Chain A
Amino acid sequence: MKEVKLFHGPNHPGMHGNFSVHLTVDGDTVVSARPNPGMLHRGFEKLMERRSWIQNIALIPRICVPEPDINEAVYSMGVEALAGMEIPERAKYIRVIVLEIARIMIHLMSIGGIGGPTGLYTAPNWGIADRDLFLDIFEKLTGHRVYHMYIVPGGVRQDIPADLLKEIEEKLDDLEKRLVEYRELIFDHPILHKRLKGMAPLPKELALDWGITGIGIRSNGFDYDVRKYDPYLVYDKLSFDVPVCDESDAYSRLLLKFREIPQSMRIIRQAIADMPAGKVRIKLPGNALKWKVPKGAVYSRLESSRGEYGYYMVSNGGLTPYRVHVRGASYPQSLYGVEAGLPGTRLEDVAVWLDTMGVCAPEFDR
């Protein structure tokens, strides 16, 4: 009965991002686990208090690195709620298209990301190459591959041309044919069935107790999704389903991400067909760098690929925000979930647990 201390450290092939877990193992079983966050800490909340309301748009996409558009969208929604602005209809449809393309891209990357913990290295090659074709669309639309700075308070920065919409539809048709190959490689693979089915389970009571949102709670039978329960932008006018599963283990969580991709494609096709004509941005009063937002406090949230992502914003009537607090979507399961959920699992399942529960280090380190 000898206990050994191991570092599932920041430099590990099965770890996504810079986050380390201190494990105490006895033989092959984990006895206790302790998270060690803070390696990507930049002090964002203090930096946001020192820049004006419009200058923050250049800083904010770097909070969540794989999916940067949700930061801009939630910040703009919060500022518009505080200032009482109403954006044009066409801007709302364009924001929905951009957010859903970002969701498809990050699901492709995380389905491919199962290659690190399990050893199936064909999956990341496919996933990241298919994601790159959508990065070309963002480059034509906004000018940058990764950090777009496209969604601003008041609408979007510029209009989307018609031939780019046609190109998006062609790429979605190509992706639909590729999804059959993904299913044959990953989800019908007998070795991955033995490796993932029944491993890293998440019981229903613990998921509700810990406050987990997103894939973790939808794989337990509840269909809690912010797009259906608290609709923002134009999600109440579009029709889509929210896939759920009955039992939550590593295989069903991965399968749920795969089943959300066709629903996002459905949303994009409807939004392209229903989009009205008109302006895409309203002008801010006076000089944009000297714009003051009225006093108040609001909590705005939206549904990211990992769960409920929210900002709590406080304004004091000044040129800069008074306080902005970022709620990363994977905060509950990364910090408390690691301490309470890992003891009892096998050592080789730690990487599978961290991958399928959607631990993304930059968003809770800020």
Chain B
Amino acid sequence: MWEKVKDITRGHSLWMLYYCTGCGAIELPPTMTSRFDMERFGIGPMATPRQADILLVTGYLSTKTLRRVIYTYEQMQSPKWLVGFGSCTLNGGIYHDSYATINQLDQYLPVDLYLAGCMPRPEVIIKGFKQLMEMIKTGEADGWKQYQDNREWYRENQKKALGDLLYTTR
């Protein structure tokens, strides 16, 4: 019963990591500032992954960014949620035949909610976040538990796509 109260309060104050990983990030500042205000729902931007709840993957991921996103996702404290923004996270989108971008985000990290479009409007982001809040209250959004249970499967897929998981500094 205590879990249900915690789920309700978690759903009302989500902090989003402000990390612009791809071209969908151009619609994030209009969502956060005064026209389509996101802070009235309790969602605000946060600078470090240690204190954030949501990781928003905005668009495509090149292999160089995927290494850093896996590193960031594993640094966040659970419970944590991941939202795939844009059609490129679903099936590769317009860059499906490019040698540098991945085609399906589901294989490397667990995704709780997808927002399709190229690119989605700010109203779609707010509607998606409201749906995520409902899913948190009912307990449906448990991607982080699946990542802990099936860790070997995710690791094997990540190694197949990237080769070497630690990023090499020059």
Contact = CB atoms under 8 A, between A and B. Distances in A.
Contact of A146 (B20, B26, B100): B26
B20 A18 contact: yes
A39 B21 CA distance: 8
Contacts of B34: 125, 129
A34 B170 CA distance: 9
A58 B94 contact: yes
B97 A47 contact: yes
A362 B17 contact: no
B62 A66 contact: no
Interface in B132-170: 169-170
B40 interface: no
Nearest to B63: A41
A125 B33 contact: yes
Given A128-B29, A132-B30, A11 B99 contact: no
Interface string B40-60: 000000010100000000001
Interface residues of B, number: 35
Given A11-B72, A40-B22, A42-B95, A129 B35 contact: yes
Interface string B93-111: 0110111110000000000
B64 A38 contact: yes
Interface string A39-78: 1111100110010000000110010011000000000000
A243 interface: no
A13 interface: yes
Contacts, number: 84
A128 B99 contact: no
Contacts of A18: 20-22, 65
B62 A42 contact: yes
Interface of chain B, helix or strand or loop or mixed?
loop
Contacts of A11: 17-19, 47, 49, 68, 72
Nearest to A14: B47
A201 interface: no
B95 A124 contact: no
- Tell me if A's interface is mostly helix, strand, loop or mixed: loop
A129 B62 contact: no
A147 B60 CA distance: 16
Most buried by B among A10, A38, A46, A66: A10
Contacts of B130: none
A50 B64 contact: no
B104 to A, nearest CB: 16
Contact of B170 (A36, A50, A146): A36
A43 B121 contact: no
A22 interface: yes
B33 A129 contact: yes
B70 interface: no
Contacts of A22: 169-170
A145 interface: yes
22 contacts: A11-B19, A11-B47, A11-B49, A11-B68, A12-B47, A13-B18, A17-B25, A39-B64, A42-B60, A42-B101, A43-B99, A46-B99, A47-B98, A58-B94, A62-B94, A65-B23, A128-B29, A128-B35, A129-B33, A145-B27, A145-B121, A147-B119
Given A39-B64, A43-B95, 10 more contacts: A11-B47, A11-B68, A17-B20, A18-B65, A38-B62, A42-B62, A43-B99, A66-B26, A125-B34, A128-B30
Interface of B: 17-23, 25-27, 29-30, 33-35, 47, 49, 60, 62, 64-65, 68, 72, 94-95, 97-101, 118-119, 121, 169-170
Interface of A: 10-13, 17-18, 22, 34, 36, 38-43, 46-47, 50, 58-59, 62, 65-66, 109, 124-125, 128-129, 132, 135, 145-147, 362
